[in-house]
Amino acid sequence: MSPYPVQLSPALPRNGGNRKFINVDLAVGHSFGKWQVAWVGFYSSDLNEPILGYQKQSQFAMGGLLGYNFGPLVLQGWLTSDVYEKNYNGKDVRGWMRIVLPLNSVFGAPPPPITRRY
């Protein structure tokens, strides 16, 4: 269920919300053997006010990532907390996990470089 009112105007999509926005994801990390640690963050903001009375929303959150490389796949967990929010009715704490399947594990390692001997 969407927190936005349904169809306020043709400027908004069918389930409400603003169509013009920006999202930026940030990450700085390091691997220690099979372990990964990183500082992660994200920023999102509306770019316009599609209807009269619309309150633009924006937020910036940051936190950490912990990952482990199992060989054919990588498991990562993220935890972030808002450090700034505007018009979201309170700060959020988010946690999520993802599985990364590197393409070189699907297609095999690249072939070694060709060396020519003369």
pLDDT above 50: residue 91: yes
Instruction: Give the pair of three-digit tokens for residue 43.
Output: 């920023």
pLDDT above 60: residue 67: yes
* pLDDT in the model for residue 74: 92
Mean pLDDT across 60-77:
94
Confidence tier at 47 by pLDDT (50, 70, 90): confident
* pLDDT in the model for residue 7: 42
- Tell me the C-alpha to C-alpha distance, in Å, between residue 110 and each of 90, 100, 107: 48, 19, 8
pLDDT above 70: residue 76: yes
* pLDDT in the model for residue 6: 40
State which amino acid sits at residue 115. T
Mean pLDDT across 42-51:
87
Residue 45 burial (CB < 10 Å; 0-12/13-18/19+)? middle
| 104 contacts: CB under 8 Å, gap ≥ 6 | 110
